[in-house]
Amino acid sequence: MDDLYVFAADTAKEILSDKLHKMQPWKVLIVDDEPDVHKITKLVLESVTFENKNVELLHAYSAAEAKEVLQRQPKNAPIAVAFIDVVMETDTAGLDLVKYIREEMDNHITRIILRTGQPGQAPEESVIKDYDINDYKSKTELTSSKLKTTLYASLRSYRDIMTIDNHRVGLQKVLKAIGNISSETNLRSLTSLILSQIATVLDLEEDAMYCTVLTTPTQQDHNGQQFKVLAKAGDLFSELKEDEICTLPPEVHTLFQQSYQQKSSIQKGIEFVAYISNDLGEENLLYVRKSQPLSELNLHLLDIFIDNFVKAHTALTLKDEVEQSQSELVHILGEAVEVRSKETGSHVKRVGQISYILAKAYGLNKFDCALIKLASPLHDVGKVSIPDHVLNKPGRHDEDERQIMQSHAEVGYNILSKSKSASLKTAALISLEHHEHWDGGGYPAGKIGDETHVMSRITGLADVFDALGSKRCYKEPWPIERIVDLISEQKGKQFEPRLVDLLLEYLDEIKMVRTLYPD
């Protein structure tokens, strides 16, 4: 599979920090107690450039001063190369400084070149073996030409280490994002999450024209294939809106059409379009523009990432499909009960939505909020066992009929509790307890206060609120003022006081539910 990437930092602060770092010169630290060494080194190196960036020379005249310079450097912009004299304030000051950098500062990125005017005091083989340094030179060896050569080699090494480290961090973030698909994750958020990290893998310059767009072909018209943008990054597509069919720049649109028609990835100069398909028959295109053509390493990394991304994308699509089917099935079952009792099926949808609003306001976690929204529509499923003459009686029930009617709570529990599904087990509990009262006056067990599960207490209030505002075989719908008066009167009696306060606080939002799901 051909594939590709782009990366942006997690926050605006990180983006600015990365951009500034890429603009900064290469930092080179000179540590030596001889002023003439600093002057000569500056004379040779101050005009050096590497990969279009200048060299910034930092100076320290002792190991102690060097430690201060090192400590002042920001973590995202460490010193690239350090030329360190061995003998300064002590015979081993330079060697001790190397240990400090590697061990105490835990800095294994800065390239260290030891320089000594007395090579006999510290044999080369022993120093290279015992200390984490990258080169060891006698000062007499370092002519102008060799000093520059040593610096170029060290900067290349530093650059490659930073690139590998960026790839490592980027890989960790992407794999973590793929691995942590939660109940709150959707396809668009996953796409944005992954693409927001890919720029690190490609090492895209912030001042280059680049972007990443994952698109879904939609329909044919007289203009040819259209594409819907799912995620994007970079200035080139800043005007395009996500989740909409957009008019792409002509040269990009042409590449997309070519890639889509050929069912293959295309690289054209500094532009690359990856054609991506999965087992569900979905076809996506991913575009990247970099200041230079993608290398073989870039393409290989992209292949790995896209392969994992497609697997996660497919899994999430299937998860969404299962969750949607489960939600629809719950509503169908709930509506079947309502229809049999000559009531509208919209009631169960409204109870689910109102319960969700109250659960969020109550402070339940995201999982439990999602759970009550899915489970609460089944609160009256036990009514399937109630005879029609009792279920649809327009007048008051006698004592026997009341007993029959109240049995629906336990019947619903018995029907649903056999399931191992979290949503159906929750629905079983709600079915059993949603007619319990805060003061103990409810049924079937006469539970008091928080002996009843909070999800049952929430659903019980949502059910009464919506039922009072709905037409029933035994009554007309109540106006909202009368409903509020009754629920306020039952605060601390039928309903938990805190829940009543929350319902009144979020009353406008709750009233909107009836607008969204009318009878």
Active site residues: 383
User: If you search the block for the tokens 């969204």, which residue do you land on?
Assistant: 516
Which residue from 386, 431, 384, 392 is spatially nearest to 404, judged by alpha carbons?
A: 386
Report angle CA 438, 443, 449 to the nearest 5 degrees.
Answer: 20
Under 8 Å between Cβ of 206 and 15: yes
3-state secondary structure 57-94: EEEECCHHHHHHHHHCCCCCCCCCEEEEECCCCCCCHH
Under 8 Å between Cβ of 443 and 405: no
123 upstream amide cis, omega within 30 of 0: no
The 8 Å CB, 24+ separation contacts for 399-406 are 406/435, 406/443, 406/444
Cα separation, 2 vs 393, whole angstroms: 67
- Buried b / exposed e over 460-486, threshold 16 CB at 10 Å, is bbbbbbbbbbbebeeeeebeeeebbee
Cα separation, 110 vs 444, whole angstroms: 72
DSSP class of residue 470?
A: S
* CB contact set of 487 (below 8 Å; sequence gap of 6+): 461, 464, 465, 495, 500, 503
What SS3 class is residue 246? strand
Q: How far is CA 7 from the centre of its chain?
A: 14
Longest dimension (CA), the chain: 111
244-246 and 224-231 beta bridge pairing: antiparallel
Cα separation, 264 vs 247, whole angstroms: 22
User: If you search the block for the tokens 């190991």, which residue do you land on?
Assistant: 63
* Helices within 1-143 (DSSP H only): 12-23, 35-45, 63-71, 93-99, 124-130
* Helices within 218-295 (DSSP H only): 250-262
> How many CB atoms within 10 Å of residue 179?
9
Cα separation, 506 vs 58, whole angstroms: 61
Cα separation, 3 vs 234, whole angstroms: 19
